[in-house]
């Protein structure tokens, strides 16, 4: 973890239990773990626009434990980056618990990725294949709880659903009994990609457990988030691509406002965001507010100075 971005261990926010968010009775608005995208600069931006809880990108626990270089590359944070959940891909309870111990001083909790459907993750025994291994999930949760004894440090899981929903309900009950703080459910099976999200399934799962549940899948506006929250009876909603294209979504904007574009520029430059990441986020954010011709020109820009010149000439506020 890079020294210029590490949160002090004494940070008062570190002592807060993120589960308190779910006791407010209000919609809890969550930024999803997104590989390459939900890093410190982007988390800083969405927090400015009413995001309540942020996840890091998925980090392979084994690499995090074994390599200082991997930790420095994958996990940076700072004083304002709170509350923060570090998401790990893991299939070994001992390694996960060690990763949690290392992350503990700089985060509010860890999440176990049990939902990633990508082939490489499944081949390594990570992600969505874990929904068929409830005993392993239970073992990982127990060992993290034994390693980090602070009850305010959350341990959560993010899952997809089974074709047979009774298996998902059983998994969630077992996870709850083992001490999971909350569960995020992406309302699709492992095989489903662009099919409609099964919000009815999420509702059934919530009715069968007592811990908070977060609904995830295809949420593109604050109105949709509020409707799904009410429809499913969950405690919150998690958004991924919807926030990429509109980081101000949770503040009620239908498309990215120019103030948000310039906020991203300021934050990204201040934190030293690499050009590729800086530019890619802007391409997502400006998707709905630029013409096809503008997109071709903007997407072809190859330096930070060229991007800044273009924005100044065309999108000053």
Find the catalytic residue in 51, 114, 116, 129: 116
Give the 3-state secondary structure of 32-79. Answer: CCCCCCCCHHHHHHHHHCCCCEEECCCEEHHHHHHCHHHHHHHCCCCC
In this structure, are residues 27 and 225 in contact, taking their beta carbons and an 8 Å threshold? yes
- Give DSSP secondary structure letters for 114-176: E----HHHHHTT-GGGGGG-HHHHHHHHHHHHHH---TTSEEEEEEE--SSHHHHHHHHHHHH
Residue 308 has, within 13 A of its CA and on its CB side, a CA count of: 9
Q: Give the span between the Cα atoms of 61 and 307, in whole angstroms.
A: 36
CA distances in angstroms from 154 to 29, 100, 101, 110, 300, listed in the order given:
17, 10, 12, 6, 43
Q: Give the span between the Cα atoms of 267 and 264, in whole angstroms.
A: 5
Cis geometry, peptide bond prior to residue 228 (ω within 30 degrees of 0): no
Q: Give the span between the Cα atoms of 29 and 291, in whole angstroms.
A: 30
Q: Give the span between the Cα atoms of 157 and 115, in whole angstroms.
A: 9
Q: Give the span between the Cα atoms of 68 and 203, in whole angstroms.
A: 41
User: Does residue 116 carry a catalytic annotation?
Assistant: yes
Residue 211: which residues within 8 A CB-CB, separation 6 or more?
Answer: 176, 180, 181, 182, 183
Residue 40: which residues within 8 A CB-CB, separation 6 or more?
Answer: 5, 76, 77, 78, 81, 271
Catalytic residues: 116
């Amino acid at each position: 973890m890079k020294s210029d971005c590490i949160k002090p261990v004494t940070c008062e926010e570190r002592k807060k239990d993120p589960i308190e968010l779910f006791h407010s009775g209000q919609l809890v608005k969550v930024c999803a773990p997104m590989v390459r995208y939900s890093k410190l600069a982007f988390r800083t931006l969405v927090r400015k626009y009413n995001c309540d809880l942020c996840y890091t990108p998925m980090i392979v626990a084994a690499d995090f434990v074994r390599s200082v270089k991997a930790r420095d590359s994958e996990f940076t944070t700072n004083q304002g980056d709170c509350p923060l959940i570090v998401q790990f891909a893991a299939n070994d309870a001992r390694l996960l618990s060690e990763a949690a111990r290392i992350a503990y001083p700089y985060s509010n909790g860890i999440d176990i990725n049990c939902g990633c459907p990508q082939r490489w993750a499944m081949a390594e025994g990570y992600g969505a294949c874990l929904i068929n291994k409830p005993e392993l999930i239970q073992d990982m949760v127990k060992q993290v709880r034994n390693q980090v004894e602070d009850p305010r440090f959350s341990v959560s899981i993010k899952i997809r659903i089974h074709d047979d929903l009774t298996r998902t309900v059983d998994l969630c009950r077992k996870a709850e009994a083992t001490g999971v703080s909350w569960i995020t459910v992406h309302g699709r099976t492992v095989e489903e990609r662009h099919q409609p999200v099964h919000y009815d399934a999420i509702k059934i799962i919530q009715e069968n457990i007592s811990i908070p549940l977060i609904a995830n899948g295809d949420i593109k506006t604050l109105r949709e988030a509020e409707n799904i929250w009410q429809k499913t009876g969950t405690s919150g909603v998690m958004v991924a691509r919807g926030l990429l294209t509109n980081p101000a979504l949770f503040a009620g904007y239908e498309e990215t406002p120019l103030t948000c574009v310039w906020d991203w520029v300021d934050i990204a430059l201040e934190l030293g965001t690499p050009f590729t990441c800086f530019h890619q986020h802007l391409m997502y954010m400006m998707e709905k507010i630029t013409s096809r011709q503008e997109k071709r020109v903007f997407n072809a820009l190859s330096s930070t100075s060229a991007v800044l010149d273009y924005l100044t000439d065309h999108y000053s506020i």
